Chain A
Amino acid sequence: MTFFLEVLIGGLLSGVLYALVALGFVLIFKASGVFNFAQGAMVFFAALTFVGFTEVLPGWTGLAPGSGAVFWLAFILALSSMIVLGIATERVVLRPLVNQAPITLFMVTIGLTFFIEGVAQGIWGSHVRRLDLGIEDVPVMFLLDNFDMMISQFDVIAAVLALVMFVALAVMFQYTKVGRALRAVADDHQAALSVGIPLKHIWAIVWSVAGFVALIAGLIWGARNGVQFALTFTALKALPVLILGGFTSVPGAIIGGLIIGASEKVAEVYLGPYVGGGIEGWFPYILAMLFLLVRPEGLFGEKHIDRV
């Protein structure tokens, strides 16, 4: 039983981190209807830019390497880069393609993926880096001592961080002026335009927020696995979360992430040995697919969108 709980809780925590990546997709899809495949590349770009700045900043400014000042300066610089990237994407790539077919917009984001990957590695180099957030990756001692359960302290803190961000975003969406505008745009572009909401600004804001989400996801995933090209693959973990939770729903992303994370771990441990293991790669997709057969709009998706 303890073992099952370990697997389950470990899976739920991973699930929150999947949801974190999925959130970036949801934000952009909701506001602009673009399925932004470049989100994975943005996670990589953000993490690499952050680590790159922490490496060069001490040389530029004379601050002590690893100090808090370097961390926050690098964070701000990386965030600014993401905002610039978001605004540039809106200006150069998306604006000329307004009203094109969704698939064209999707493809353009794949082109953007190559572009971002090339720029990131062209500037900072391709070698694998370590990212230390100062959170030790050890089992939570309290649980280990009392229940003999191994739950990673890092994952717990990362999941809490992610949840705080979810709440912050939810509050922003719900109670601020920008948030209201965002929701209006998500509901209906035309109507939003006609009541005077500046669509282009909103899109730039959304891409910037998605950049911020990518930065947080990049920091957490980069600290777990190292900052390297493979960070772009985190997108593949987020896609089943998206179909399960719905492309347009923020709570859906969280719930979907929890379900996917927990079920894939449980399946790998209890089902994997019977079929040779390694099923984590496809299991979430099959699960999400089967789920869609029953409920085509996903958990929280909007019903009218993708009903056949």
Chain B
Amino acid sequence: MFYREAGQFKASYQNDQQIFPIRQDQIGFIALMGFLFLVVPFIANQYWLQAVLIPVLIFGLAALGLNILTGYAGQLSLGSAAFMAVGAFGTYNFMLRIDGIPFLVALLLGGLCAAAIGILFGLPSLRIKGFYLAVATLAAQFFIVWVLVKFGWFSNYSSSGVITAQHVNILGVDFRSPEMKYLLTLTVVVVMALLAKNMVRSSTGRKWMAVRDMDVAAEVIGIRLMRTKLQAFAISSFYCGVAGALYAYMYLGTVEPEGFNLDMSFRILFMIIIGGVGSIMGSFIGAAFIVLLPVFLNVAFHSTIGAYVPADLASNLELIIFGALIIFFLIVEPHGLARLWQLTKEKLRLWPFPH
């Protein structure tokens, strides 16, 4: 009843090509943004901002990066965390070595560093694909972290190899409080998500999908495989790099290279599989799910049965349930949570009179 596009006519091409062609979607999007920008900073406490919302946004952005590569261009990668590390360490070094560089410029440059490295490690994709490629991207994962640990220059010769994010100040505004950090993160993430949304429905995105669906056919119709694949690697790594920089500057403050480990790469891959491969929104839903589920299980367990079973067992039960839920979700909906949302929308169109 409420979600029906009947009666919405598109009179011009411009109208027809809007990001959100359906009015209800437009209203929903504006309402969501209004809520996130104007309401959340006032009602959320520090815990929600610093421990939930900021990481969900940042991991959502990283998942979006991986989704561009895996979901749209069909190239499986297990090195996302390493590209995040490149972004974080790149931004740090630009901030450190260039006096008075604006944070957003450093962020952009850090992302570009990640993109460059991404292209380098994307080269094998020209010859191999599938799990062979996934395992090959593990080379990036291990190699990059090793380089960052081994060569002191990247961490400005700190004795323990960690970097400490500088204070962020944009046009005289200090981004120190959780609210300001949240707002900056949100702005960057929303801008980049909208860009991605545009990208995947433009010719760039269509090329990626053509390559994903059948690369030989794509080549036959004149898509240059090498360029398209490397472009996907570059853009994906750029997104991961920016996410990594935000992870260092807006979330943790001090990061070590080992923080960007294989486990994190897997977590990001999880986010897109659970959220939905080839879906912008799915990346964020997946990130929220993977970040919040262990926390939820932990809270639920310690407040309920935690008092009755040994702590060791409680922690292991959490792990078991986490694994079982992932299996369960994949069996119930192999296309991810975003697919559920789509189905809901389909149903809403007809509701309450399905026939």
Contacts and interface: CB of A to CB of B under 8 A. Distances in A.
Given A93-B327, A117-B319, A122-B313, A102 B146 contact: no
Interface string B126-159: 1111111001101100110010001100000000
Nearest to A29: B131
Contacts of A35: 131
Interface stretch (B13-21, B265-273, B345-353): B265-273
B326 interface: yes
A104 B334 contact: yes
B76 interface: yes
Given A112-B327, A292-B127, A293-B127, A282 B273 contact: no
Contact of A282 (B139, B225, B319): B139
A110 B129 contact: no
Contacts of A103: 70, 76, 273, 277
B322 interface: yes
Contacts of A195: none
Interface in B237-281: 262, 266, 269-270, 273-274, 277
B316 interface: yes
A276 interface: yes
Contact of B316 (A111, A113, A122): A122
B131 A106 contact: yes
- Interface class of chain A by DSSP: helix
Interface string A239-251: 1101100010000
Contacts of A145: none
A110 B270 contact: yes
A107 B330 contact: yes
A110 B274 CA distance: 12
Given A103-B273, A276-B150, A111 B128 contact: no
Nearest to A275: B150
Given A298-B132, A306-B132, A308-B126, A285 B270 contact: no
A243 B132 contact: yes
Interface string A94-131: 00110011111011101111111111011001100000
Contacts of A178: none
Main secondary structure of the interface of B (DSSP, over half): helix
Interface string B198-235: 00000000000000000100000000010000000000
B341 to A, nearest CB: 18
Contact of B331 (A97, A121, A236): A97
B80 to A, nearest CB: 14
Contacts of B70: 103
A108 B330 CA distance: 7
A285 B138 contact: yes
A93 B331 contact: yes
A293 B120 CA distance: 13
Contacts of A116: 323
Given A97-B330, A101-B334, A107-B273, A292 B124 contact: yes
Nearest to B324: A115
Assign chain B's interface to a size class: 35 or more
Contact of B320 (A100, A122, A247, A296): A122
B126 A243 contact: no
Contact of A293 (B76, B124, B331): B124
B312 A126 contact: yes
A118 B273 contact: no
B343 interface: no
Which of A107, A110, A239, A288 neighbours the largest number of chain B CB atoms within 10 Å of its CB? A107
A293 B133 CA distance: 11
A279 interface: yes
Q: Looking at B126, B128, B312, which has the most chain A CB atoms within 10 Å of its CB?
A: B128
B146 A282 contact: yes
A122 B136 contact: no
A269 interface: no
A289 B326 contact: no
Given A115-B324, A117-B319, A107 B269 contact: yes
A281 B142 contact: yes
Nearest to A97: B331
B128 A242 contact: no
A65 interface: no
Given A113-B323, A289-B136, A104 B330 contact: yes
A166 to B, nearest CB: 22
Contact of A118 (B132, B138, B151, B319): B319
Contact of A289 (B76, B124, B215, B262): B124
B317 interface: yes
A306 B74 CA distance: 13
Contacts of B225: 308
B331 A285 contact: no
A115 B327 contact: yes
Nearest to A111: B326
A286 interface: yes
Nearest to A99: B334
B330 A111 contact: yes
Nearest to B266: A110
A112 B130 CA distance: 21
Contacts of A276: 150-151
Nearest to B273: A107
B323 A115 contact: yes
13 contacts: A92-B327, A103-B70, A112-B323, A119-B316, A242-B135, A276-B151, A279-B146, A288-B139, A292-B132, A293-B124, A298-B132, A308-B126, A308-B129
Given A93-B327, A110-B326, A293-B123, 20 more contacts: A35-B131, A97-B334, A102-B131, A110-B266, A115-B319, A117-B319, A121-B312, A240-B135, A243-B136, A247-B131, A276-B151, A282-B143, A282-B146, A286-B139, A292-B136, A293-B127, A306-B129, A308-B125, A308-B126, A308-B128
3 tightest CB-CB pairs across the interface, nearest first? A114-B323, A115-B323, A111-B326
